[in-house]
Amino acid sequence: MPHAIRFHQTGGPEVLCWEEVAVGDPAPGEARVRHEAIGLNFIDTYHRGGLYPLPLPSGLGREGAGVVEAVGEGVTDIKPGDRVAYGTGPLGAYSEVRCMPADRLHKLPDGIDFKTGAAMMLQGMTTAYLLLHTYPVQSGDKVLIHAAAGGVGLIACQWAKALGATVIGTVSSEAKAELARKHGCDHVILYTQEDVASRVREITAEGVAVVYDGVGKDTFMASLDSLRRRGLLVTFGNASGAVPPFDPLLLSKKGSLYVTRPVLDHYSTTRAELLALGNALFDVVLSGKVKIEVNQTYALADAAQAHRDLEARKTTGSTVLLP
């Protein structure tokens, strides 16, 4: 029987269990995918920990890459033998093999290997919608990207730079600062030691056009204070905890600011939207403008250790789990 990581109660990484699972033939509209690599994402820790509640027991993970073994009735554009990857699958990617809706799969271009495919889809399509749709970055824009050496961070810094932005990134250590600089950051702020908003004012005078904030609770105020008049705060994650309620009058006082709280699913709901994001990502990676840094790999059965390291801020770039 194949194995998967599942959990029966929410909690720390210790709730993750390596279990035998029955995987049958794909239902109509589904494909059975044998994973070669699985992507690790911060959202997996919110599911495991209960911040985003789920019916239990549950599988985990929304991102993977592998080979299609079989397809169900009605699936025409994906066939057995195809190399595929996905970043918006239903939970259950932490598995050796699974069935999933075929309309969430992307065909993986020949120039992209499985590890890279599993590492890049969720973080890369997130970066695509953030930089191309939520606030379309223009050449000459000054942008602030928090957790610049992380998974989304390293992709976003390179992509924003390629779009012609001046990129300011925040990180927690000198080693991460060095990495961010090598991946498109023009200015790096050590947000564990420096005052972010004052440093942003020193660098830009008027403030930045947009802040991409996946850190959440700890950076929310500094993000608002770093914006130019009528700037946009894109608060898209909670790595430090969820942002508490705030008074909208703050936005008027600080310069008629905008705030949005987007999620990838709402930018990839239709098959056409999903493929457009995936193709934009494939193009920018194949062009060499964005390099996907897979800086950690773990055995899938050791997913708990991968979660510990991610939550302890020990990882940089992207991480994959190998079945």
| Residue 218 near residue 241 (C-beta atoms within 8 A) | yes
Please state the closest distance from residue 217 (CB atom) to ligand NDP, in A.
8
Write the CA distances from 90 to 31, 59, 95, 127, 265, integer angstroms: 13, 9, 12, 20, 11
Q: Does 176 bind ligand NDP (CB under 6 A)?
A: yes
DSSP 80: T
Q: Given candidates 75, 84, 121, 215, which one binds ligand NDP under the rule CB under 6 A?
A: 215
Q: Does 124 bind ligand NDP (CB under 6 A)?
A: no
Please state the closest distance from residue 134 (CB atom) to ligand NDP, in A.
9
Q: Does 214 bind ligand NDP (CB under 6 A)?
A: yes
Please state the closest distance from residue 295 (CB atom) to ligand NDP, in A.
9
Q: Does 147 bind ligand NDP (CB under 6 A)?
A: yes
Question: 17 - beta bridge partners?
Answer: 6
Per-residue binding letters, 263-282, with ligand NDP (x by CB under 6 A): xx------------------
Q: Does 88 bind ligand NDP (CB under 6 A)?
A: no
| CA proximity to 198, closest of 168, 167, 233, 240 | 168
Name which of 41 and 158 has its Cβ closer to ligand NDP.
Answer: 41
| Residue 67 near residue 34 (C-beta atoms within 8 A) | yes
* Order of strands across the sheet that contains 187-190: 187-190, 166-171, 142-145, 208-213, 227-235, 258-260
Instruction: Determine the Cα–Cα distance for residues 265 and 296; give it in Å rounded to an integer.
Output: 26
- Interface contacts to ligand NDP, rule CB under 6 A: 41-43, 122-123, 126, 147, 149-153, 171-172, 176, 214-215, 218, 236-240, 262-264, 310-311, 313, 315
